[in-house]
Structure 1
């Protein structure tokens, strides 16, 4: 049975007062490292410091080699960028599990899948109570090894981002896959659940609803979600990451916005904006010391050095 909706606190919209990010959060300017995407999404850093991401509409998984800065080979996406898989079945979000394996939210397969050492892909979650998922969009791995993911209908409703088909579930939700493979529905229905990330102590799960433009926060209780509250509204949030101090970094409209999180009785505080020249879709911290931020946009990927690291 679906869980009843948790208690909700609404604190109203946050004014989008655009200003530069505070000193110390950034240590350089964004530099483009990939181009010619049809819709880039889902960056993730691998253990060898290479960067992977999706061209969702192009139906490709791409990888920027760790030595990309020293090579001139270019297959059309930029020096050192190679096609890792084609077709990619319209993969969207990516992350890496506790064993360093790449996980993907696949619009086309309507599943969460894991890449094994031999290059094959293993389905981790394909159905909920007999019905196929809509089109898993983004995902995060908790310290206990469980995988949490969002399941909107973008891959069903946008033929360029999936293989279409009929919805087999009663709505769009957040799900949790336990380490032993049990799939649990953990959220109330949402119009368009998208990016998600845990607070540093994993007591809170932040979830973006891109249809309503709301950044929600949920209490995490015994492997499920409890009371929720609005952190921010109306600022086009999409992918999100949380740094070790708990700040929320989001690809949001024309750049990356950073918030100091609030609570049930107060909204988040917008700390500032890192502007970029096109709509952004997702982001991920990584690189040799974990402080390089990769940002995907519609057609490009940028790297920027920061003064923070992701909470993991």
Structure 2
């Protein structure tokens, strides 16, 4: 029997002939993981050809995935039904982190324009924030939207350190994590003590905010903060995970409170 791939399964969709289950590429290091392991599934490569992929965000209502290819200055789109990959936005202003708000709109961190934006349903782009007290942001990195509509994002300087993932520039602000109020649009600094703030997410009840400290000494860390009763501030900083030689980056929390982290 031949092993040629049928036309309806393009190689860019990551289709593999004769998959075997369970996939040997998946290993449960802790028995608590096994309840989340779908044994009749396999690791698939959806696409190749990116220089550096970040910020995946799933549109379940449209059955497609968007993600950022930062150095190539584009956002790509993968369609579940066909496996086709196309350019969603180019130039993307060196987009990095992406998420959706409660209205299903795309919220994006842009290194190149040094701002956070929202893509409206009609396709036009709204600038959420590009400066703080008259000074330009560094290079917004990752973003999460709380149930009250507030937008929380990290702002390290990675996108202004050279021309590979943004534009070389001097930092005008410290490395902060910001909150944009969902009703008034008013911005505030909610953390200024994180070395290289990167990925961030909330626990399911939104009482804990997790932040990746990507320039932590001597190792990267995942920090945890309590969200105050008002939902506008955080307190009680603590180290949840010392990553050792690992490199956690983007992350999300599932309905059971587990953190799923991109980990180099």
TM-score (norm 2): 0.82
- The equivalent residue for 1:304 is none
Alpha-carbon distance in 2 for matches of 1:163, 1:118: 29
RCO higher in structure (CA 8 A, sep ≥6): 1
TM-score (norm 1): 0.70
Alpha-carbon distance in 1 for matches of 2:107, 2:80: 20
Alpha-carbon distance in 2 for matches of 1:107, 1:119: 20
- The equivalent residue for 2:253 is 242
- The equivalent residue for 1:228 is 237
Name the structure where strand makes up a greater proportion of residues.
Answer: 1
- The equivalent residue for 2:180 is 177
Q: For 1:28-50, what per-residue CA distance to the aligned partner results, in whole angstroms no more than 9, with x for missing partners?
A: 22111110110011000123121
Alpha-carbon distance in 2 for matches of 1:50, 1:60: 16
- The equivalent residue for 2:15 is none
> In the TM superposition, what is the alpha-carbon distance from 1:231 to its structure 2 partner?
0.7
Alpha-carbon distance in 2 for matches of 1:244, 1:118: 31
Q: Is the 8 A contact 2:198 2:212 kept in 1?
A: yes
- The equivalent residue for 2:167 is 163
The number of equivalent residue pairs is 225
Alpha-carbon distance in 1 for matches of 2:114, 2:192: 20
Alpha-carbon distance in 2 for matches of 1:31, 1:209: 29
2:69 aligned with 1:63: no
Alpha-carbon distance in 2 for matches of 1:197, 1:106: 18
- The equivalent residue for 1:215 is 222
Q: Kindly report which structure 2 residues correspond to 1:49-128, keeping only aligned pairs within 5 A, or say none.
A: 49-69=63-83, 80-128=84-132
Q: Is the 8 A contact 2:202 2:209 kept in 1?
A: yes
Q: Please identify the structure whose Cα radius of gyration is greater.
A: 2
Alpha-carbon distance in 1 for matches of 2:128, 2:241: 32
Give 3-state SS (helix, strand or coil) of 2:35's partner: coil
2:181 aligned with 1:148: no
- The equivalent residue for 1:260 is none
Distance 1:30 1:20, change over 3 A: farther
Alpha-carbon distance in 2 for matches of 1:20, 1:39: 30
Give 3-state SS (helix, strand or coil) of 1:32's partner: coil
> In the TM superposition, what is the alpha-carbon distance from 1:20 to its structure 2 partner?
6.0
- The equivalent residue for 2:203 is 199
Alpha-carbon distance in 1 for matches of 2:205, 2:131: 29
2:41 aligned with 1:19: no
- Segments of 5+ residues of structure 2 without an aligned counterpart are 1-27
2:46 aligned with 1:33: yes
Give 3-state SS (helix, strand or coil) of 1:31's partner: coil
